[in-house]
Amino acid sequence: MINFQKYDEDNPEIWKMFVHLSKQTRAKGFNHYSAKGIFELIRWHTSVKGNDYFKINNNYHADYARKMMRVHKEFEGFFRVRELKAIRK
């Protein structure tokens, strides 16, 4: 299985769409939203595709949520994520 960092580097369009749709969702007044919901919007309403055989791999929605909250501090707490108990590759 490919790790998140490599998947993210290999699929920059997914990150761009995740950021765009997260900002759009917040602008509509949401204080919290689902990263999985953002992934569904990407999957069903765009032509963005991952480099594996999935259009977009669901395994990484929590990783994108964590990255969004880390990179864009104004989104801290916007996505609810569980505490990581194991180190993810």
Quick one: pLDDT at residue 1?
Answer: 46
- Find the mean pLDDT for residues 16-42: 94
Number of compact structural domains in the chain: 1
More confident residue, 5 or 43: 5
Q: How far is CA 19 from the centre of its chain?
A: 8
Tell me if 55 is assigned to some domain: yes
89 pLDDT higher than 60: no
Is residue 88, in this structure, part of any structural domain at all? no
Predicted confidence at residue 52, as pLDDT, reads: 59
The number of CA neighbours under 13 Å toward the Cβ of 85 is 1
Cβ atoms < 10 Å from Cβ of 11: 20
pLDDT tens by residue, 42-86: 888 776 666 655 667 788 999 999 999 999 999 999 998 877 655
Residue 86, in any domain of the structure = no
Residue 31's pLDDT is: 95
User: Whole-model pTM?
Assistant: 0.82
Q: How long a stretch of residues is the chain?
A: 89
Residue 53: inside a domain, yes or no?
A: yes
**Domain enclosing residue 11, as ranges:** 4-75
